[in-house]
Amino acid sequence: MDFGYDEQGNRLNHNDSSSNYDDSDREVASVSDDDAWKRAGGGSGDDDDDDDDDDSSLRQRHGRSNGGGTDDSSSSFSEDVELIIGEAGNQSIAEPLVDEKDVVSYFRADGARGKFLVEDRRAAPLLIQDTHAAPSSEREFLDLLRGIPSRQRNVALVGHLHHGKTSLLTMLLGGRAYRQREDEVERKISLKSSVVTEVVSGAHYQQASHLVSFCDTPGHPDFVAETAAALRLADAAIFCVDAVESITRNAIRLLRQTVLQENLPVMLVITKVDRLIMDLKLPPLDAYRKLRTVVDAVNNEIAGFGSPFLVSPQNGTVCFASSRLGFCFTTETFALKYSREYPSVDPVALSQQLWGQVAFEKGQFVKITNFTQRPAFVTLILEPLYKIVAHALTGKGHEVLSSRLHPHPRDPVAAAREAVQLFFGDAATEGIDALLNVMPKADVRLNWLRLRYGLTCETQNSVLAIAPLLRSQNNGEDNFAIVRVLHGVLKRSMKLVVVDEHSSDAEPFYTFVVKELLLKMLNGLVEVDAAHAGQVVFLTGFGTRPGSHLVLVGGAIADPFLMEDDAADVGDTASGDWLDDVRVYPLKCGDPMVHVGVELKDPKKSAQLQRGLQILLRTTPGLDAHKEETGEFTLTGYGELHL
């Protein structure tokens, strides 16, 4: 059918009048009617010649309108192309345009690469599916990953106030910020420890998918108990120090809590390195001396605690980062950039020469013997970084560095960030790569925790867990605990024995049934059926007692105290003597020193106040409250902001 326009929207038959166009339309309609009449059996054989002439004229007219090789054609299609004009859809509205089976999601593709070491990331999905039946959804892949202990990590971010912990976590998560409390956004500080679990992978060394639980802790001195409780959930700590401010008194206090009290290995991350370049405008050699001062100060404190967990760029436990410019690297990950340009260079061996009293002169590494020699860290790392930032800030990045840079950036910081990210690559995968290289597995610290809590009785089908952090929402109606599983498999609908810091001889424990097990991810809470040893999950269903630190025991070991449970196997029960050894291991972060008295103007609201205090005692580690004989309530905490 001739609509008067071709497929590109150009008007056809410009030399014809509108009457000719109307006549051709009527002629096409009459021919179509004749064809329909003949198919119905109503036509005679005498009109066949006339019909053939009409069909021939119709085909010629259709060829002119659709680019069939005539002079009037304005189409770019050849003669063998058939144009089909659809007036109705051939696919149901409920049927998706792209079938889910034909798409390999991020989690499935990344997990398959880590599982089967597929080197070509652009390999067709068929290659992976032929090797092994891949999970049919991201949820199934997540459940599969949770069952592999070697692919799980738990890490806490510790540091002084405004030393870049939350910004570093946002950068490691690919710029996707997790949900924060409204008062935290208003005050621009962290008030509570936040746990978020995500599937991540590195860029080079750790390309396999890992399930990592990050715990972002407050840096204010008043919330030291909150930080100490969050460290019980971690297997290692990322200690963040501002490159300009260096280590502070509160940072030393947090470092002592991490290394001495919790026996955690530390990875030092020197944040805000860009301030040395853009704010202080230090030359590269002075910036190196500043960075080395930070590393030495942290090691001096760790050595003073008697701990062997010293940090050094040579063993990958020191990382240099900037969330403003978007980079995060260690000497080993930086050495990989030289090995790409020079394949004969071993990145591991090169990284050992990029720190300390070693200079790079005339293509060789030599020991520094005088003050005129420049360290290799300055020559091979800081000077290239300075040049990239300098060219970007002067507006010549598009000409000097790469044509892929934007010729007209919106501001100097955006120009420097774009240039640095072009050189370093994705800061998230680079940082995760450096992190996973040195972080211990999730089951390494479990024995240490079980001994501290007196959970030494391990029997088959038993479950041991701790909950150092509790949270409450909707004015105390919704309560959940952040649980670290120490032994066994914690399942939904399991009945548990609970011991808290308020347990006594008169009431040594209480019981409850697990209602839900949840993982807090960036997309929200994900419900799971079980949690294995070493994992950190959110648990709901416990009581409203004021305890803020819980020890959870379930399974065969708790059957003597759960005989009313029909599912308990009396013949397989263990002795109940283990309960005498269970204790709540204290946080050991010092005693609170600030006391505040509260007296009600309206005594009728005393019950409401006591209910609110119970919620605070459950959800705020280190807080204490008791009622005096005069009716006044005394609150004890670590500072004014804590109270």
Query: What is the C-alpha separation between 423 and 404, in angstroms, rounded?
Result: 11
Please tell me the predicted confidence (pLDDT) of residue 162.
93
Please determine, for residue 37, whether its predicted confidence score (pLDDT) is greater than 50: no
Q: Any idea which fold 143-438 has?
A: Rossmann fold (3.40.50)
Please tell me the predicted confidence (pLDDT) of residue 312.
95
Burial class (CB in 10 A: 0-12, 13-18, 19+), 637: buried
- What tokens appear for 272 in the block? 């805000």
| 14 or 614, greater pLDDT | 614
Q: Are the CB atoms for 231 and 257 separated by under 8 Å?
A: yes
pTM metric for this prediction = 0.76
Pure H helices in 214-279: 224-231, 249-256, 274
In one-letter notation, the amino acid at residue 465 is A
Helix (H, G, I), strand (E, B) or coil at 260: helix
Query: What is the C-alpha separation between 640 and 242, in angstroms, rounded?
Result: 25
Please tell me the predicted confidence (pLDDT) of residue 100.
59
Please tell me the predicted confidence (pLDDT) of residue 476.
65
Which of 229, 197, 231 has the alpha carbon at shortest distance from 213?
Answer: 197
Query: pLDDT grade, residue 183 (50/70/90)?
Result: confident
Q: Are the CB atoms for 240 and 168 separated by under 8 Å?
A: yes
Q: Are the CB atoms for 291 and 243 separated by under 8 Å?
A: yes
CB within 8 A of 543, min separation 6: which ones?
498, 510, 512
Q: Are the CB atoms for 129 and 188 separated by under 8 Å?
A: no
Please tell me the predicted confidence (pLDDT) of residue 607.
84
CATH of 446-580, one of 2.40.30.10, 3.40.50.620, 1.10.530.10, 2.70.150.10: 2.40.30.10
Please determine, for residue 546, whether its predicted confidence score (pLDDT) is greater than 50: yes
Query: What is the C-alpha separation between 3 and 258, in angstroms, rounded?
Result: 77
- What tokens appear for 127 in the block? 């290659």
Q: Which residue ranges does the chain devote to CATH 3.40.50.300?
A: 143-438
Pure H helices in 45-153: 48-65, 106-116, 125-131, 138-146
Point out the least confidently predicted range of 430-434, 621-625, 639-643: 639-643
User: Strand pairing partners for 537?
Assistant: 483
CB within 8 A of 567, min separation 6: which ones?
none
Please tell me the predicted confidence (pLDDT) of residue 126.
33
Burial 224-248 (b: 16+ CB within 10 A, else e): bbbbbbbbbbbbbbbbbbbbeebbb
Please tell me the predicted confidence (pLDDT) of residue 99.
64
DSSP assigned state of 598: E
Helix (H, G, I), strand (E, B) or coil at 474: coil
Instruction: Look up tokens 């090995």; give the residue.
Output: 339
Please determine, for residue 281, whether its predicted confidence score (pLDDT) is greater than 80: yes
DSSP structure string for 171-197? HHTTT-PPP--HHHHHHTS--S-EEEE
The enclosing H or E element of 429 equals: helix 427-438
Q: Are the CB atoms for 339 and 347 separated by under 8 Å?
A: yes
Q: Are the CB atoms for 269 and 245 separated by under 8 Å?
A: no
Query: pLDDT grade, residue 547 (50/70/90)?
Result: confident
Residue pLDDT, tens place only, 227-257: 999 999 999 999 999 999 999 999 999 999 9
Instruction: Look up tokens 């890992």; give the residue.
Output: 210
Q: Which residue ranges does the chain devote to CATH 2.40.30.10?
A: 446-580
Residue pLDDT, tens place only, 440-482: 988 889 999 999 999 887 777 889 999 999 998 776 677 889 9
Residue pLDDT, tens place only, 85-117: 777 767 777 777 666 555 544 434 443 333 333
- What tokens appear for 368 in the block? 């520094």
Q: Residues 46-58: what's their mean pLDDT? A: 48
Alpha-carbon distances, residue 399 vs 386, 389, 413 (angstroms):
17, 14, 18
Query: CA-based Rg of the chain, rounded to a whole angstrom?
Result: 35
**How distant is the alpha carbon of residue 141 from its chain centre?**
16
Packing angle between helix 249-256 and helix 284-304, nearest 10 degrees? 50
φ, ψ dihedrals at 454, nearest 5°: 70, 20
In one-letter notation, the amino acid at residue 455 is L
Longest Cα pair distance anywhere in the chain, in angstroms? 120
Chain-wide mean pLDDT for the chain? 80
